[in-house]
């Protein structure tokens, strides 16, 4: 498929400043000879070519990247990932899938379902800290939760070896009984107290710190074959403005939420010395304005990636809410330009269950593509949710939507694993 080339050499052009030529002084007058030869007329100067305009989303040179990140002590590879996600977002974006290496439609394992259809893995792998931090993870080799931890770590390392980007969400179970993260499965007491109980001074604050200790242990030992720590994107407390998770807006004030977010970042970065994380802030699709999006925003110094999850607006197969979804994503994109962040559609998908749900013929190539590109949207990546044994968000060969999905990924803006530049190295000479 035809792809736009990713020209890292353009960074030198984008970020260099034009130098004005020095004024030429007239030479000292010389004594005229009696018979001077006539002067030849000077050739007209070539008109100067206009300087190239700086693309709107470029905000900093590679060497300035750390100054715009949450962690000024981030590893070199993490700095490069942040810069390259920002640079990519000017003209392209990465397409990823949650649990692509271990969740298969029809339980048909092997290659990722994404690769079965497209011949390439997705450009980003989504993982979850849920099983890793579960109360039942004993750390013993015979323990099912520990086995899941080892599988996830192996998947992350495989993705990194393929040049892919790794992103983690966290479905953290409530701290009282550790059974669920959904409020409709919790008692009234749990719903009203779970989030506040993990705040500093709360009854479950040490419990929460123990979970962060586990994340830090994994992150600080996540080493690739090249010997470097693997950078990850971490998206805690996702879809926080809804009420179906115990960290949702119904169960805390905006200031309590901001305080908890800041504590989480400070603890991982400063107390546990984790320097290979980019932090992603991602509400669901409830907001329609900039002020609504920022109501629980903890501050630029605590966020690297501005995201949005959105399922509801893409579900109508007539595309009637795609313009609305695009407007919401435009809020994220505009804020990312203003605040020198990376914008993203951090989670989405429409799940096709054969015999029960059906896709519009142009769902991917028109609906999803227009959502992601209309009105000067600039994002670094988007993530489809995982496939399940009986339903799929990304089609597999022979299933409804396969041709339309292939049309979608044929667009020049889209980057899969096989299309990615080196995401873990900064452009040289800047």
Residue numbers annotated as active site: 239, 347
CA distance 379 to 90: 8
Instruction: Write the DSSP assignment of 73-103 as a string of letters.
Output: T--HHHHHHHHHHHHHTTT-EEEEEETTTT-
Which of 117, 1, 59 is CA-nearest to residue 413?
A: 1
State the alpha helices, DSSP H only, in 301-394.
322-339, 369-373
Local structure of 164: helix, strand or coil: coil
Partnered with residue 281 across adjacent β-strands are: 306
The conformation of residue 62, written as its DSSP 8-state character, comes to G
The residues facing 98 across adjacent strands are 126
Pairing relation of β-strands 232-235 and 342-348?
Answer: unpaired
Unique residue bearing structure tokens 């479905």: 171
86-120 in b/e form (b: 16+ CB < 10 A) is: bbbbbbbbbbbbbbbbbbbbeeeeeebbbbbbbeb
3-state secondary structure string across 265-294: HHHHHHHCCCCCEEEEECCCCCCCCHHHHC
Strands 232-235 and 165-169: parallel
SS3 label, residue 34? coil
> Looking at the DSSP assignment, which residues form a beta bridge with residue 277?
232
Q: Which SS3 state, helix, strand or coil, does residue 218 take?
A: helix
Asked if 78 contacts 342 with a C-beta cutoff of 8 angstroms, the reply is no
Distance (Å, whole) CA 307 – CA 354: 30
């Amino acid at each position: 498929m035809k792809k736009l080339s990713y020209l890292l050499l353009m960074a030198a052009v984008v970020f260099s400043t034009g130098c004005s030529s020095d004024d030429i002084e007239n030479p000292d007058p010389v004594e005229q000879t009696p018979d001077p030869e006539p002067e030849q007329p000077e050739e007209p100067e070539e008109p100067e070519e206009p300087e190239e305009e700086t693309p709107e989303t470029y905000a900093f040179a590679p060497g300035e990247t750390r100054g715009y990140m949450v962690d000024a002590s981030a590893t070199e590879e993490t700095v490069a990932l942040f810069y390259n996600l920002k640079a990519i977002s000017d003209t392209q974006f990465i397409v990823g899938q949650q649990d692509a290496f271990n969740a298969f439609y029809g339980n048909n394992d092997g290659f990722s379902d994404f690769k079965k259809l497209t011949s390439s893995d997705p450009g980003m792998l989504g993982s979850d800290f849920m099983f890793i931090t579960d109360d039942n993870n004993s750390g013993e080799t015979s323990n099912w939760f520990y086995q899941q931890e080892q599988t996830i770590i192996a998947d992350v390392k495989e993705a990194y070896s393929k040049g892919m980007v790794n992103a983690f969400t966290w479905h953290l179970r409530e701290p009282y009984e550790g059974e669920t993260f959904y409020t409709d499965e919790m008692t009234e007491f749990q719903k009203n107290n779970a989030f506040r109980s993990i705040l500093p001074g709360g009854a479950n604050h040490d419990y929460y710190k123990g979970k962060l200790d586990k994340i830090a242990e994994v992150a600080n030992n996540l080493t690739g074959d090249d010997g470097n720590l693997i950078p990850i994107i971490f998206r805690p407390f996702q879809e926080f403005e809804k009420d179906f998770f115990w960290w949702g807006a119904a169960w805390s004030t905006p200031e309590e939420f901001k305080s908890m977010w800041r504590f989480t970042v400070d603890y991982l970065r400063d107390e546990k010395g984790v320097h290979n994380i980019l932090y992603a802030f991602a509400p669901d699709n409830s907001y329609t304005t900039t002020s609504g999006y920022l109501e629980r925003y903890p501050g630029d110094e605590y966020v690297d990636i501005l995201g949005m999850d959105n399922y509801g607006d893409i579900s109508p197969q007539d595309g009637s809410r795609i313009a609305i979804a695009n407007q919401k994503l435009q809020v994220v994109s505009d804020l990312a330009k203003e605040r020198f962040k990376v914008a993203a559609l951090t989670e989405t998908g429409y799940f096709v269950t054969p015999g029960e749900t059906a896709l519009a013929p142009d769902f991917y190539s028109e609906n999803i593509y227009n959502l992601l590109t209309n009105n000067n949207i600039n994002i670094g990546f988007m993530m489809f949710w995982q496939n399940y044994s009986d339903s799929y968000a990304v089609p597999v060969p022979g299933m409804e939507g396969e041709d339309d999905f292939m049309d979608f990924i044929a667009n020049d803006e889209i980057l899969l694993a096989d299309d990615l530049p080196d995401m873990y190295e900064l452009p040289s000479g800047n």
